[in-house]
Chain A
Amino acid sequence: MPKFTLNGQEVEAKPGQTIIQAAADHGMEIPHYCYHPDLPIDGNCRMCLVEVEKMPKLTPACTTLVNDGMVVRSENERVKEAVRGVLEFLLINHPVDCPVCDQAGECRLQDYYMVYGLHTSEIPLGMKVRKRKVIDLGPMVVLDQERCVLCSRCIRFFEYVTETGEMQFFGRGDHVAIGTFEDRPLDNPYSGNVVDICPVGALTSRDFRFKCRVWFLHATDSVCGGCSTGCTVRIDHRDGTIFRLLPRRNVEVNRSWLCDEGRLSFHKLSDGERITRPLVKGRDGVQAPVTWEEAARSIDSRLKEIRDTNGAASILGFASPSATNEALFLFKRYLDGLGATQFDFRLDSEDKKLADEEDQILRHFDKHPNSMGAIKLGLMSEQVGGIEGAINAARAGRLKAGVVIYFKPLVERPGDAEAEGRVLALLDELEYSVLLTSHKADWQDSASVVLPVAAWSEEEGTYTNFEGRVQLAGKAIEVEGNALPVWEVFAMLLHASGAESPWMSAEDVFATMADSVSVFSGITLDQTRLPGVVVG
């Protein structure tokens, strides 16, 4: 381990680390534009100049490897002067249109100008080289060439990550401009990432731009609900509305990337009406609103009745691979308590698609965040054989009652409607059915009871991705109406059935789960934070 001195403090670096990386490990950010931890090093912007003792000139921290005994200074006047110079060059032709720029507030040009620049521009506006603005680059990205600092991060992303090579510099000297060939749209499923990595307002998000100034947004750490990869994300929201999803860097899962579908998946949540109150079918066959207590009492007594007449094997627990581990754990605990033995969650061979890569970058075929969690919690059985098996068993009269959790996938695929159709078929075949879901749909009339529950982003909980990595997702949005998180519904049912129900939060449920389910044994909620923990 090379040791070196950084601004007077002796610190350690990992072998092969550059100065900028080692400094970052010690919580010190050296200014930079072109360096990005998940892209190949380019060394073109010169913002990261530092002083290294015995080197005659300042040297870029992003390209210089740490050597044992190196003495590095990144904060003295000589360095600051150099960085100021670089900034002044970068701003020569910059249009300074921050008031109408969507990047304002999270722009590296603004930030560094405030720290290092604060110079007066020598270039009158009229003399600046003008370039093109508001260029449409497809469904995700809008380009403003004048604001580009020519760091080439976007070029390198398309060259090395997606290997599609759409973006390049054209021209030379002060007329160099970033763009695509003939302004062609960026049409690859990861194009939104360049908006995140562009350090300035040159590439902005078509979806998010001009919706909200970034300083009004609140951030909640979460996990993407779009597929079994479980990318680590941040939800930016305000007043109960989600404005965007951004990746949180997680080298073990998604590095700094998200797929475009996942990035936009939150829009699905505002598609269609929500169910706001528990509904129970009366003698007239019409669902009518009831209180949660009434609903819980009636469900518990009906299920027990059916068990006592038809045996516990006539009760089905059909889980959703979109629900959290905590939800699924209490779901199973409640049904176990009734003596139920029939469990499954597969609407569409999720167990097989789960680890199947849709491409070599991030996406998996299974569009649910927690299929692995459902498997680990024992919610898959050959005996039931997925939803088809369950429908057949109900038709044959072997299954009489079912508790079903269903969420529409946040990332759509052909076949979703058929999968939903199978849920309806199951409800139709069952004599008594309890459906937990978030959004309204006509087919839900078939259920004996409909319980409104929190959707993705509305409750705290953990998800287990395709490789068994458990990650915590926080609650960003308040649930609508009287809806409850799924775990709370089952905590209530456990209480109604006379069992112990001591949980006050998803965290409490997690602790019980870690105590009682062997795959989760010994892990703490803290371990499920970045980068998450892989369970056996």
Chain B
Amino acid sequence: MIEFSEEGKRRYQTILSHYPDKRAALLPVLTLAQREFGWISQEVAEYIGKLMSYPPSDVLSVATFYTMLHKKPAGKHHIDICKNVSCWLMGVYPCIDEIKRQLGVEKREVTADGKFSWDVTECLGSCGTAPAMQVGDRYYENLTPARVAEIIEKLRND
């Protein structure tokens, strides 16, 4: 049986306090769950369902609708790199190749040490500073292959 950490439980209560009905808090709670457990497994969906009086099918249904919620294990650092128009024009593909070279895994796979996974996304809303990518809560902008290598190096030692 999985459970939120003590800190997670506190945050869960805070999230609930923002909504008139606890079921309305599903999305932020799923985000919290992803932070806590790394991804939304069926076990997590069931746990959240019990917590929030949803059948587990409803939780998984919402989780599978949102691409930012992982439905399979992700690395400690999950990189989402934008492949939409602006980023593409500004040369994101060499950056994607660099990610692949650095990590040695295909998209949606996890590195052997469990540290990294990556995926391509649609527009991150950062077209002005394209190409852009997001790792956790952080944006990295104006990417070049060299900068990508540098960022990954830093995260590796993190």
Residues of A within 8 A of B (CB): 164-172, 179-182
Contact = CB atoms under 8 A, between A and B. Distances in A.
Interface in B91-150: none
A172 B54 CA distance: 20
Contact of A172 (B45, B56, B60, B64): B64
Contact of B42 (A165, A168, A172, A182): A182
Given A170-B64, A181-B46, 15 more contacts: A164-B55, A165-B55, A165-B57, A165-B58, A166-B55, A168-B55, A168-B61, A169-B61, A171-B65, A179-B57, A180-B57, A181-B42, A181-B55, A181-B56, A181-B60
A164 B56 CA distance: 11
A179 B55 CA distance: 13
B64 A171 contact: yes
A487 to B, nearest CB: 49
B64 to A, nearest CB: 4
A165 B57 CA distance: 7
A454 to B, nearest CB: 45
Nearest to B62: A168
B65 A168 contact: no
A40 to B, nearest CB: 16
B23 to A, nearest CB: 12
Contacts of B58: 165, 168
A57 B68 CA distance: 35
Q: Say which size band chain B's interface belongs to.
A: 10 to 19
Contacts of B61: 168-170
A165 B45 CA distance: 14
B57 A172 contact: no
Closest CB pairs A-B (n = 7): A165-B55, A168-B61, A168-B57, A181-B57, A181-B56, A170-B64, A171-B64
Interface of B: 42, 45-46, 54-58, 60-61, 64-65, 67
Contacts of A171: 64-65
Nearest to B66: A172
Given A181-B42, A181-B60, A172 B55 contact: no
Contacts of A166: 55, 57
Contacts of B64: 170-172
A172 B71 CA distance: 13
A167 B57 contact: yes
15 contacts: A164-B55, A165-B54, A165-B57, A168-B55, A168-B57, A168-B61, A169-B61, A170-B60, A171-B64, A172-B65, A180-B57, A181-B42, A181-B46, A181-B56, A181-B60
Contacts of A170: 60-61, 64
A302 to B, nearest CB: 63
A515 to B, nearest CB: 55
A182 B55 CA distance: 12
Contacts of A169: 61
Contacts of A168: 55, 57-58, 60-61
Contacts of B56: 181
A181 B65 contact: no
B73 to A, nearest CB: 17
Contacts of B42: 181-182
B41 to A, nearest CB: 11
Contacts of B65: 171-172
Contacts of A164: 55
A94 to B, nearest CB: 21
B60 to A, nearest CB: 6
Contacts of B45: 181
Most B C-beta atoms less than 10 A away, residue of A165, A167, A168, A172: A168
B37 to A, nearest CB: 17
Nearest to B42: A182
Nearest to B55: A165
A131 B73 CA distance: 23
Nearest to B67: A172
A179 B58 CA distance: 11
B115 to A, nearest CB: 28
Contacts of B54: 165
Contacts of A182: 42
A182 B59 CA distance: 12
Contacts of B57: 165-168, 179-181
A162 B64 CA distance: 24
B34 to A, nearest CB: 17
A220 B58 CA distance: 39
A167 B57 CA distance: 6
B158 to A, nearest CB: 32
A173 to B, nearest CB: 9
A179 B54 CA distance: 16
A181 B44 CA distance: 12
A167 to B, nearest CB: 6
A167 B60 CA distance: 11
Nearest to A170: B64
B33 to A, nearest CB: 16
Nearest to B65: A172
* Chain A CB within 10 Å, residue with most, of B46, B58, B61: B61
Nearest to B63: A170
B69 to A, nearest CB: 11
A170 B42 CA distance: 12
A373 to B, nearest CB: 41
A164 B57 CA distance: 10
Nearest to A163: B55
A175 to B, nearest CB: 9
A172 B62 CA distance: 10
